[in-house]
Structure 1
Amino acid sequence: MKWKSFLLTCFAMFFIVSSAQAATPISVLINYRPVKTDVAPFIKDGTTFVPLRSIEEIEGLSIKSWNNKTKTLVIVDPTKSMTFSVKQNQSESMLIKNNRVMVPIRFIAENFNSDVAWNANTRTVQVVKLNAKTKANLNSDDLTKSRIAAITIPKITTLKEQTGGQSSGGVFKLLFPEGESKAFFMISNGIANYYEVKGNAAWHIWSGKIGGNNNKFWVTNSGISSEVGQRPKLNDRLFFYNVSTHSGQSEHGYMTTNGKETILGSKDMNSLEELYPIKEED
């Protein structure tokens, strides 16, 4: 993964320009990738409907059959099969609109073990489903392998974007609670973001704009001028990587709860997959 591509992907959802919600079309992200549809998704009675073929973008899902006479649909993955039909006033049913089959994406995705969220700020449906290999890496006893999986899986956010931070010049920071992989901070361009891995995705729990001396947060060693979400309460030290995307170098060390940083060393790091163990954490 190239750094430029990673940074663009990581922050893509935070730079969507919003207008009046009524005029903003619904977007669909599946595993953090935008899904292009020839028919616009729409909301009916609180349920978001998408064109039928869109669901084949979900990991492992496929359309086994469609019976136009009975209006019956069969969707499968390697372990499960579900049958759907056209019924009125039911969130789990399909709809026929302008001769197109439209399906309730949340109901289908969740029944096939995907994580689904709606970001009202950007009017975006987010669906994430991981393959077996990635799930195994997430749950690995190898701390570094688990951390690599955690920071590279798709992210889900329902938070309002924090903007206006100062440029960090191609440097960003990763921080993990000691001995943990499924919770982490990413700090870049004056914005601190905190994620927790739950199910298939890294969920965006908190975001804060760094600046000033008020509302101090020891993780950023600075004040927080504005924030959204739930700020995490941390009682243990954090191990960190200060990564330069330009030089392909990283410093590593740890931070104590009083905000003091200790640099332990440095190492080449040209991609997130090259994240390395910090021996002092063993």
Structure 2
Amino acid sequence: MKWKSFFLTCFAMFFAVSTVQAATPISIVVNGNTVKTDVAPFVKNDTTFVPLRSIEQIEGLSIKSWNNKTKTIVIADPSQQMTFRVNSQNQSESPLIRNNRVMVPIRFIAENFNSDVAWDPNTKTVHVAKINDKTKANLDSADLTKARVAAINIPKISTLKELTSGESSAGSFQLFFPEGKSNSFFTIGNGIINYYEVKSNAAWLTWIGKMGGTQNKIWFLTNAGISSEVGKRPIINDRLFFYNISAHSGQSQYGYISTNGKETILGSKDIESLNDLYPIQDENEADN
């Protein structure tokens, strides 16, 4: 079925981890997509430089002009423009020319245009995230479900070392949200728990746990503990409301887990994609 193929694709993308191309020592990932360059990025004085045209992959950014005589570049987005001069005194903020190509400091430029930037030393990847105004409005929406849909769909950034996955979830996964909140969430799939915090333009992966054994339990796992973990384990003092989603059947269960670990299933609904999350009506009514 058409929706099933779409859902499985969404599922694969949701849990995918960006990979580094073998031919490129440093990768650039913008909003989850690897940017292909004809000149390899490089690091100089702890600053990552990328080909000038790579900047146009960032949401809303464009190169307005290049003055070969003054060696100045004008870069703009819909709200502002900035001028950068090649070989200014501050080398970490200045473009430079290498092998007749203009190379620019990606962090300095991206952050000046209100993007999130992170360096993953494990994979030598520069992550850049920038969302548009409509998505930002959805993140801040008073409609909890709309805000949650936005949160799980914005770019994801991780600088944590990967954990090998456990047993396959066979096309099923879980989403958990602290009660009444959309700015943080857990996912569980293939034996791995991920915890994300929404900050500005991205959902930042701040903790990963691998399920296994009965020791080192996390309170909302009733049948397993955490065999290994990286990052800072979150402290959650609220109930967690969940969606248990089966990509194969297009079905989802929903309910909540009390702070004592008791699971309550409230019902089930059809769901065709992650954009079809629905309100859990009992979220502000169910008893602890």
TM-score, structure 2 as length reference: 0.93
Cα distance in 2 for partners of 1:80, 1:89 equals: 22
Matches within 5 A, 1:194-233: 194-221=195-222, 222-233=224-235
Deviation at 1:140, TM superposition (A): 0.2
What does residue 99 of structure 2 align with?
A: 98
1:77-119 residue CA offsets vs partner (Å, 9 max, x unmatched): 1111111111255211001010000000000000000000001
Residue equivalent to 1:64: 64
1:159-170 superposed matches below 5 A? 159-170=160-171
1:36: which partner in 2?
36
Counterpart residue number, 2:194: 193
Contact 2:20 2:27 (8 Å CA) reproduced: no
Deviation readout 1:119-164 (Å, 9 max, x if unpaired)? 1111110000010000000000000000000001110101011113
Letter in 2 for 1:7: F
- Cα deviation for residue 236 of structure 1 reads 1.3
- What is the aligned partner in structure 2 of residue 46 from structure 1? 46
Unaligned runs of at least 5 residues, structure 1: none
Partner of 2:84: 84
Aligned length: 278
CA distance in 1: counterparts of 2:179 and 2:189, whole angstroms: 21
Contact map agreement 1:192 1:220 (CA 8 A) in 2? no
Number of the residue aligned with 2:131: 130
Letter in 2 for 1:172: F
Query: Alpha-carbon deviation of 1:259?
Result: 1.8
Q: Which residue of 2 aligns with 1:257?
A: 259
User: Is this contact kept in 1: 2:154–2:203, CA < 8 A?
Assistant: yes
* Cα distance in 1 for residues equivalent to 2:20 and 2:229: 19
Aligned partners of 2:91, 2:130: CA distance in 1, in Å? 25
Map of 1:4 onto structure 2: 8
Kept after mapping to 2: 8 A contact 1:18/1:122: no
C-alpha contact (below 8 Å) 1:128/1:200 kept by paired residues: yes
1:184 equivalent in alignment to 2:188: no
Match of 1:174 in 2: 175
Instruction: Name the amino acid aligned to 1:41.
Output: P
- Counterpart amino acid of 2:166? G
Contact 1:18 1:121 (8 Å CA) reproduced? no
In the alignment, does 2:277 pair up with 1:270?
A: no
In structure 2, runs of 5+ residues without a counterpart are: none
Question: Following the alignment from structure 1 to structure 2, what is the Cα–Cα distance between the partners of residues 85 and 250?
Answer: 54
Shift of 1:12: 2.5
Equivalent position SS for 1:192? strand
In the TM superposition, residue 219 of structure 1 has moved relative to its aligned partner by 2.4
- Larger mean CA deviation between 83-92 and 38-47 belongs to 83-92
How many Å separate the matches in 2 of 1:173 and 1:272? 11
**Residue 75 of structure 1 pairs with residue 75 of structure 2:** yes
Q: C-alpha separation between the residues in 1 aligned to 2:97 and 2:16?
A: 33
Aligned to 1:280: 282
TM-score (norm 1): 0.95
Q: Structure 1: which amino acid aligns with 2:107?
A: R
2:69 aligned partner, one-letter code: K
Aligned partners of 1:193 and 1:206 also within 8 Å = yes
Contact 1:193 1:204 in 2 (8 A): yes
Taking a change above 3 Å as real, the CA distance of residues 261 and 116 of structure 1, as seen in their structure-2 partners, is same
CA contact (8 A) 2:11 2:247 kept: no
**1: distance between equivalents of 2:116 and 2:238?**
29
Q: Which amino acid aligns with 2:28?
A: V
% identical equivalent positions: 68
Q: Secondary structure at the match of 2:107?
A: helix
Superposed displacement of residue 218, structure 1: 1.3
CA 1:239–1:225: 2 relative to 1, 3 Å: same
Once the two structures are TM-superposed, the CA of residue 17 in structure 1 deviates from its matched residue by: 7.1
1:281 partner SS: helix
Q: How far 1:200 moved relative to its partner? A: 0.5
